[in-house]
Amino acid sequence: MDYGKTLVCGAGGFIGGHLVADLLKQGWTDIRAVDLKPFDEWYQRFPNVENFQLDLQDKAACEQVTRGASIVYNLAADMGGMGFIENNRALCMLSVLINSHLLMAARNFAVQRYFYASSACVYAANKQTSPDVVALKESDAYPAMPEDGYGWEKLFSERMCRHFREDFGLITRVARYHNVYGPNGTYDGGREKAPAAICRKVIQAKLSGRHEIEIWGDGHQTRSFMYIDDCLKGTQAILASDILEPINLGSSELVTINKLVDIVEEIAGLKLKRKYDLKAPKGVNGRNSDNTMIKKYLKWEPGIRLREGLEKTYRWIYDKIAKDR
């Protein structure tokens, strides 16, 4: 349903760009998009949208873009894959300014609904010590022991959303994203996540003829990965729902990193010699999404299979790398 002017924060990023594209596809016409990056670095930018390049850590910038908005999607954060968040904890923590200033502006300008993109990194580390992980349910975020830096910022910002809802009546909704991937996103430079990084490494090995790949960790760590289309559907459904507490938004298809490499190798049509970097950032040993709650509330859960999503992601990254070469 089109409530009025919709603000997408982080619109120059991977998920934000796809969200703007999806809203336009559905016929939404009054969209405001904002990101810190220069316009030529946005993954997707649309001429029939109000586009702003602003630093949302700044309170005045948040007030400027929130004024007149009915809906706010806060997807903005300084973040990346494990290689980035393990080495930039302070930068990740500073994203708390974005959510705090946006919430204050949303309250002041009577925003109807506010969505915050949280992360599975909020979950307690002692629940993720084994590759044979029990799927994480929403209550596993407490007692708190989240990913240092990035996870603490996300968990604190979840609480800010809760208290703005309870104390000021601002309708807030929070989803905990589990490893979103797909085309039109980061695949190199240090901020990329595992699916894009593996696709890039396999493509580079194929194009160069050097048939080997470096894998961070021992390859036995487990994850689930959600394709962008499922993320968009779930995000909009959660915003429109009556779900008050933070809720998992992720696939429950658990795979090892080795299996992730297997699938990309199959798509590429080659086998690579594997070198394991045991000193590289690898995150927790196991993480998966318990989807009991989302199935209860929405009668739905992310269901696009990893192989299907990886094929589309691989093709997009291949075309980008081949063009650059």
314 is catalytic: no
| Angular region, 190: left φ>0, alpha ψ -120 to 50, beta rest | left
Q: What share of the chain is helix, strand, coil (3-state, %, to 5)?
A: 45, 15, 40
Strand-pairing partners, residue 133, are none
**Alpha-carbon gap, residue 161 to 100, rounded angstroms:** 9
Answer positive or negative: Cα dihedral of 283, 286, 288, 292. Answer: negative
**Alpha-carbon gap, residue 73 to 19, rounded angstroms:** 9
**Alpha-carbon gap, residue 187 to 176, rounded angstroms:** 22
Among 114, 123, 150, 314, the one annotated catalytic = 150
Phi first, then psi, for residue 68 (nearest 5°) are 90, -5
Contacts of 307 (CB under 8 A, 6+ apart): 263, 266, 267
Q: Annotated catalytic sites, by residue?
A: 150
